[in-house]
């Protein structure tokens, strides 16, 4: 599993946002509080039952959660299914602290 820091992801989004998919595996109530633009919500508990058909194996998937634990689990699952998955270390919480302090921290 590959890991990216929020700075790595910010650089990717600034230079070639179209070259990655953003998958948020938090719960809907968390996603409503804050999420990255153009991210797709598929809670970890529903990942194998929903949403896999909407993901492309042609582009890497950056997986996002609150602190990086659920996203790491999702990355392992996605890799076993043939996807290229990248874990956002520190999750949306670290993103808020390092990249965009205007977004809510919960």
75 is an active site residue:
no
Cα–Cα distance for residue pair 93/101, rounded to 1 Å: 10
Select which of 63, 64, 65, 78 is catalytic. 65
User: Which pair of tokens denotes residue 16?
Assistant: 């070639």
Cα–Cα distance for residue pair 54/61, rounded to 1 Å: 12
First to last CA, the chain: 27
| Catalytic residue positions, numbered | 65
């Amino acid at each position: 599993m590959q890991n990216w820091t929020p700075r790595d992801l910010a650089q990717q989004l600034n230079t070639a946002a179209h070259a990655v998919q953003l998958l948020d595996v938090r719960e809907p109530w968390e996603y409503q509080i804050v999420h990255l633009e153009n991210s797709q919500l598929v809670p970890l508990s529903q990942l194998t039952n929903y949403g896999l058909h909407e993901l492309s194996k042609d582009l890497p998937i950056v997986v996002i959660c609150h602190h990086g634990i659920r996203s790491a689990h999702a990355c392992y699952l996605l890799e076993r299914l043939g996807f290229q998955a990248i874990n956002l270390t520190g999750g949306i919480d670290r993103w808020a602290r390092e990249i965009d302090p205007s977004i809510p921290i919960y």
